[in-house]
Amino acid sequence: MKPLTRPARLAPGARVAVVAPSGPVPEERLSAGLDILRGWDLDPVVAPHVLDRHPELPYLAGTDADRAADFQHAWCDPSVAAVLCARGGYGAQRMADLLDWEALAAAGPKVFLGFSDITALHEAFATRMGLVTLHGPGVTGVDFLKNARTQEHLRASLFRPESVTTIASAGTTLVPGRARGVTLGGCLSLLAAELGTPHARPATRGGLLMIEDVGEAPYRLDRILTQLLRAGRLDGVAGIALGSWKDCGPYDRLRALFTDRLGGLGVPVAEEFGFGHRDGALTVPFGVRAELDADAGMLTLDEPALL
């Protein structure tokens, strides 16, 4: 697996677009998130349909066509240096195939940020555009609005990426060893849901898989991992870094599950790397070459995620 194209870091005064590819956005939280971005000397612009709600499917932020049009316009606007997702939820898969990926690629590389349901778009950006993306908080996320650690790590990732090239684990080693590869991953259930779609990777050969999830019972995580294993999605994976598993059950049960399902791969596996659905979540890049030292609980990027 080869490293992907790195977009340019942000500079003071950069124009950033806020879009809602998935779930509906609370207006008061959007306003608070925009204030934070302006405090970073960014110039945020809100896509026209961000505050929409689908008339019949209220779990979607407007219609698929409108969400796709917002995304397309934001990415193809030459004045926009970054596209930031307002939140996750559900719906990115519904609009991904409505995007003109050739036009997106022609618009050139720029920063893309989101997590959770946005995993579907991280996969698409990797397979269709070969672009490094940032797995990090949504602009309206409670953690982004309230947690200083989350804010500062994202800010450093955007403006000073050379300062965040190491991520330390707060947990233990499940399978010892060191591995090198290209980072990829996201929300585990979304990776499974992408199987068989045009944007799914056929395998993770040569990759450092970074996974997390929220609200999935242990037996469901077992089923998801088993599906990925049976489908060959984990064939050739170089190493695995586990993030957060909020509301997924007692962690001792999860640790036993991960050891059972992932231990047989014969690659380093380490836990609690601080990204995902958790307080103080960190921003991690997908598409950069790195080293995972499971014994030391350390992920080290070969180079900053942004130029």
Annotated catalytic residues are: 116, 212, 277
**Distance between alpha carbon 184 and the CA centroid of its chain, in Å?**
9
Please report, as a single letter, which amino acid is at residue 291: E
What distance in Å separates the CA atoms of residue 285 and residue 306, rounded to the nearest whole number?
9
Work out the burial of residue 135: count CB atoms within 10 Å of its CB; fewer than 13 is exposed, 13-18 middle, 19 or more buried.
buried
Q: What is the dihedral of CA 149, 153, 158, 160, to 10 degrees?
A: 120
What distance in Å separates the CA atoms of residue 213 and residue 111, rounded to the nearest whole number?
23
State the SS3 of 74-129.
HHHCCCCCEEEECCCCCCHHHHHCCCCHHHHHHCCCCEEEECHHHHHHHHHHHHHH
Q: Among residues 87, 79, 116, which one has the least CA distance to residue 29?
A: 87
Helices (H), the chain: 27-39, 64-76, 92-96, 101-106, 119-124, 142-146, 148-159, 188-193, 218-230, 251-262
Work out the burial of residue 169: count CB atoms within 10 Å of its CB; fewer than 13 is exposed, 13-18 middle, 19 or more buried.
buried
The vertex-202 CA angle with 199 and 204, nearest 5°, equals: 110
